[in-house]
Structure 1
Amino acid sequence: MGGKYRITGDTYPRMRRPRNRRRIVLAGVSAVVALGLAGWGTLQLIDVFTGGDKSAVAASHPRDCPTPKPVAPAKALPKPAAVKVNVYNATTTTGLAKAAADELKKRGFAIGEVGNAPEAYDKKVPGTAVLLGAPTAANGSFAVLGTQLPGAVQKTDKRKTAEVDLILGAKFKAFSTPAEATAAMAALTKPSPAPSASCAPTATTKSG
């Protein structure tokens, strides 16, 4: 071109091409897909190294343990004064039944008959003692009297009355100390928490 519109120099202006919106959209979609594939690949690697065991992930984030709730005793135990005890001596030691009865009376028990054991038990109790009573005594009187003499054998018969027979055996030496008996009684009447499942993660190993 000539005249005043003549182009001089060795650099020529270039016309900029208009932007293509479709390419921009496609580029964005491609980036999202690439990120998704990268995340999926990471999960696959985790499955490979953990063996696909979802419990391994759950174990690293254990659930909170529930607070154990106290469990009250199924039935209130009677007081020693409500337990009437017949004391019998099945040993060769003279006066043992009376001495035992006097001690139980000091500890608050009601005392009934005191004397030698009936023929079925006389000199036939090799252990510490035998507690003999009605079936209902197993859930009350036996437990209370048992705090004074741990290790006594418990037996029931067909009697209808509430008294309990204490038959002293060859290995009887003495009752528990008052402190020991009190502690044993407290353990029987104190509510204890129910057992709860452990929330600690369990480590597992896999071979192969």
Structure 2
Amino acid sequence: MSTSTDSPPVRRRRDRRLLPPLVFLLVLALAALGVWWKVFQDAGARAEAAEAACETAAAAPPSLDPSTLSIRVYNATDRGGLANTVAAELQARGFVVEEIANDPTEREVTGTGEVRHGPRGNDAARYLALFLPGAGDLLDTRATATVDLVIGPDFQALATPEEVAATLTPIASAEAAC
């Protein structure tokens, strides 16, 4: 006896749904790409921040011992005794003041004043400029490390020790980051 079945022979299914697994793999690949993109962006931002901190530290005025600096204080204003007052305050802060006088040059000083120095006094001038905010910088040809602090007509007062320390603190932390 023979049996016959009415069912067709078994064939491979070609109508399988491939779309859901492909969508899942695509979403998974996009998520992985997003994570790696964020990792590389964060690494780049950290590198840029470190580079910026090093540039800031390199351009910043050094923190020096005032007793190692040799300065001259000049008055370029019409107010009498101003150079003596400023020199006394600088000496109280530890600076070595070599000379106190009216400005010996006929140069017109504007603003709060200016810091004059030669190439050997660059660091000392940048440090001294912290005490006279807004002061101009004048590089001349002197061969010594002596720095001149010239008081201008807009001068009100020297920066307080706290203001100077507040300026130097971020610089020290930037140097530590390098």
- In structure 2, the CA distance between the partners of 1:187 and 1:136, relative to structure 1 (3 Å rule), is farther
Structure number with larger C-alpha Rg = 1
Aligned match for 1:63, one of 31, 38, 56: 38
Deviation, 1:179, is 1.2
Consecutive aligned runs of 4 or more in structure 1 exceeding 4 Å deviation: 37-40, 57-62, 67-70
Residue 74 of structure 2 aligns to a residue whose secondary structure is strand
1:36 aligns with 2:18: yes
Deviation, 1:151, is 0.2
Q: Gapped runs of 5+ residues in structure 2?
A: none
- In structure 2, the CA distance between the partners of 1:188 and 1:137, relative to structure 1 (3 Å rule), is farther
Q: Gapped runs of 5+ residues in structure 1?
A: 1-12, 47-54, 195-208
Aligned match for 2:160, one of 173, 177, 180: 177
Aligned match for 2:131, one of 145, 148, 154: 148
Assess if the C-alpha contact under 8 Å between 1:77 and 1:141 holds in 2: no
Q: Any residues of structure 2 matched to 1:1-208 within 5 Å, and which?
A: 15-16=3-4, 23-24=10-11, 26-27=12-13, 30-31=14-15, 34-36=16-18, 62-64=37-39, 65-66=42-43, 67=46, 69=50, 71=54, 73-74=57-58, 76-121=62-107, 124-138=108-122, 140-191=123-174
The structure that is helix-richer by fraction is 2
- In structure 2, the CA distance between the partners of 1:83 and 1:35, relative to structure 1 (3 Å rule), is farther
What count of residue pairs does the alignment treat as equivalent? Answer: 162
* Counterpart Cα distance in 1 of 2:91 and 2:119: 24
Deviation, 1:105, is 0.9
* Counterpart Cα distance in 2 of 1:189 and 1:37: 59
Assess if the C-alpha contact under 8 Å between 2:121 and 2:144 holds in 1: no
TM-score (norm 1): 0.63
* Counterpart Cα distance in 1 of 2:126 and 2:97: 17
Offset from partner CA, 1:150-194 (integer Å, 9 cap, x none): 100001011110010011111112111221122122233331668
* Alpha-carbon RMSD: 3.6
* Identical counterparts, % of pairs: 27
Aligned AA for 2:130? Answer: T
* Counterpart Cα distance in 2 of 1:137 and 1:143: 9
